[in-house]
Amino acid sequence: MADKVKRTPAKLSKLVEDFDMEIVCRGSDYDQRTVSISDMNRPALQLVGFYDYFEPKRLQVFGKSEMTFLKAMKLEERRRVFDNLLRCEIPALIIARNMEIFPELLEIARKHGRTLLRSELNTVELTSQIIDYLNRALAPQITRHGVLMNINGQGVLLLGESGIGKSETAIELLKRGHRLVADDAVEIRRVSDSLYGTAPELIRHYIEIRGIGVIDVRRLFGMSAVKDEAEIDMVMNYGAARGGAWDVVEKEIRAVVESAHKYGALVKVIFEISQLSLEQVAKATEVSIRAGADFVKTSTGFNGHGATPEAVQVMLDTAKGRCKVKPSGGIRDFATAKMYVEMGASRLGTGYTSCKPICDGEGQGEGAY
């Protein structure tokens, strides 16, 4: 069955709360009002009466330029401008820079039941931050059964049949200091060319363990054990691979690829090469390509060793340009990084402390993953 894609409008009241904006005038529909378009509008032509192609569903913002232009108008002309704008069913009008509100603007906002807001941010910061916020909030979304963890800063989605042990694996990862994003239901959104996963609000920070019940991860492990959102890579089912169940491996990869490619997002399949023979690495590369993966990656960094020249060469020889190869783990110095790049790797997975030594052409960093 195909994943059901949904787009949920953003609640205006939540946006106001998240940006700590002042409610100067609460519109008649404020509590129910939603925003369905991520773009914002700075009325310019509308200030001189041109409303062709005007999109009233966008949030409207007055910055310093608009307010200065309005201040130069005569009172009656300014009232006419405000009346024309606020008779349109806009979600809200935001005044940037905490600028003083014209009394007639407040009066006309109340007359038409429109929401009037004020922010301390300057106009550029305000519009760019709200557009980014709305791009995330309005992104196309699907829900998948699984567990999403944040492991060393990398989002890892655990998939499998019910009862296979996904939640139990998550508990073991939590004991090792990793973080839970979502258990059971993972909401996946595409923002630009990346996938982001979150938990539905009702089950956020909870995990269900068979035979025990529902656990509040925040209470048991502390706030540092939970994360509200993570970008997703996919870890291959290397247990099935070692058992020769390559049809299962391919089916699981294909399911993730189809969901991701539906939104134009790339998929990186992580093998965990320390658990596979070189023959299995070659087979895993071929299966990943057949399933439509964009990248194959050597390791997650928390189960055995990282990249090796032998495994990376096998991946490159098998891929033959049909997908990209990303060595990860153990890349702590310039010589190692240079070796993999010259071999043909498209990207490298390095620890944050290794970046400077590699870029400087010297030294050993820590945390190779």
What residues are labeled active site? 145, 166, 184, 254
CA distances for 39 relative to 33, 35, 68, 168, angstroms: 17, 10, 23, 42
Partners of 150 in beta bridges: 155, 179
- The separation between CA 22 and the C-alpha centre of its own chain, rounded to angstroms, equals 28
CA 201, CA 189: separation in Å to the nearest integer? Answer: 15
φ, ψ dihedrals at 227, nearest 5°: -145, 135
HEC secondary structure over 96-110: CCCCCCCHHHHHHHH
The two structure tokens encoding residue 53:
């192609």
Q: Do the beta carbons of residue 241 and residue 280 sit within 8 Å?
A: yes
- The separation between CA 14 and the C-alpha centre of its own chain, rounded to angstroms, equals 18
The two structure tokens encoding residue 319:
């891929």
CA 70, CA 235: separation in Å to the nearest integer? Answer: 57
CA distances for 226 relative to 150, 159, 169, 183, angstroms: 8, 19, 15, 11
CA 160, CA 44: separation in Å to the nearest integer? Answer: 54
The two structure tokens encoding residue 87:
């008779």
